[in-house]
């Protein structure tokens, strides 16, 4: 990891202010962490894949269940009061339930992939400050290539309202 300036904020206002100012002054944001989701996080990556994963796996699951019900009805024909074998209305019931289940499974798998989960260790965990994001603080890390830019970054973060700043070599 190259040199970076890291800061802790106890409120979202100063954190958002620092992030905005950092971008305006051409600092590269290496990471943003928080104890709850913020609107500014919406700029981070396209999450349409999540919705597509839910929709596609859900529809595939429902179609598979419908196909199974149709196949098995003919594989084991059972005359129930003279009703037709292809009672598609009743096949829709388990298909609908299965749509929700397979959609959810697809969505969770997509979450793991898109959010980089199942990776139990990450370089970010080496920064003690990041742990505070799960508890009470917002964390912002800015890339600094030189000693001067590190000083400028720390000054920017402190001015925005950080209660803790540090340069990590």
Partner 1 sequence: MKPHTRPEHGRQWTLPSVRTLGDVTEIVLAPLMDRKAGRNYWFAFAASLAIAAVGATAIGWSIAVGPGLWGNNTSVVWGFPIANYVWWIGIGNAGTLISSLLLLTRQDWRASINRFAEAMTLFAVSMAGIFPILHLGRQTYFYWMAPYPSTMTLWPQWRSALVWDFWAILCYLLFSVLFFYVGLIPDLAALRDRSGKLGWRRFYGFFAMGWQGSARQWRTQERLHKALAVLAVPLVCSVHSIVGLDFAASMMPGWIESVFPPYFVVGALFSGFAMVVLIALVLRWSMGLEGIITSAHFDAMAKILLAAAIIMSASYASEWFSAAWSGEAADLALVRFEFTGAYWPLYIAMLACNVAAPQLFWVPRLRTSVRVLVGVSLAVLLGMWLERILIIMETLSTGYDPGFFRLYSATFVDFAILAGTLGAFVWLFLVFARVLPVCSMYETRKLLARERENDA
Exposure string (b/e) for 40-55, b if CB count within 10 Å is 16 or more?
A: eeeeeeeeeebeebbe
Cβ(69)–Cβ(24) below 8 Å: no
- Distance in Å, CB of 124 to partner 1, minimum: 5
Cα 34 from Cα 129, distance rounded (Å) = 11
For partner 1, the closer CB: 36 or 146: 36
Binds partner 1 (CB under 8 A): choice among 26, 75, 146, 169 = 75
Residue 162 near partner 1 by CB under 8 A: no
Three-class DSSP category at 95: helix
Which residues form the interface with partner 1 (CB under 8 A)? 10-12, 31-38, 40-45, 47, 50-51, 54, 58, 68-69, 72-73, 75-76, 78, 80, 83, 87, 90-91, 93-94, 96-101, 103-105, 107-108, 110-112, 114-122, 124-125, 130-131, 133-137
């Amino acid at each position: 990891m190259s040199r970076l300036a890291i800061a802790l904020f106890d409120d979202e206002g100063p954190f958002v202010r620092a992030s905005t100012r950092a971008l305006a002054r051409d600092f590269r944001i290496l990471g943003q962490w928080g104890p709850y989701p913020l609107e500014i996080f919406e700029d981070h990556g396209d999450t349409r894949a999540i919705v597509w994963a839910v929709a596609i796996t859900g529809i595939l699951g429902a179609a598979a269940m419908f196909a199974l019900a149709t196949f098995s009805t003919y594989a084991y024909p059972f005359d129930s009061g003279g009703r037709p074998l292809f009672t598609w209305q009743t096949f829709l019931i388990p298909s609908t339930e299965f749509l929700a289940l397979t959609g959810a499974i697809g969505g969770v798998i997509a979450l793991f992939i898109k959010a980089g989960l199942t990776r139990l260790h990450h370089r970010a965990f080496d920064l003690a400050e990041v742990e505070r994001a799960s508890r009470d603080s917002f964390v912002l890390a800015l890339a600094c290539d030189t000693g001067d830019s590190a000083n400028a970054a720390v000054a920017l973060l402190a001015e925005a309202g950080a209660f803790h700043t540090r340069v990590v070599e």
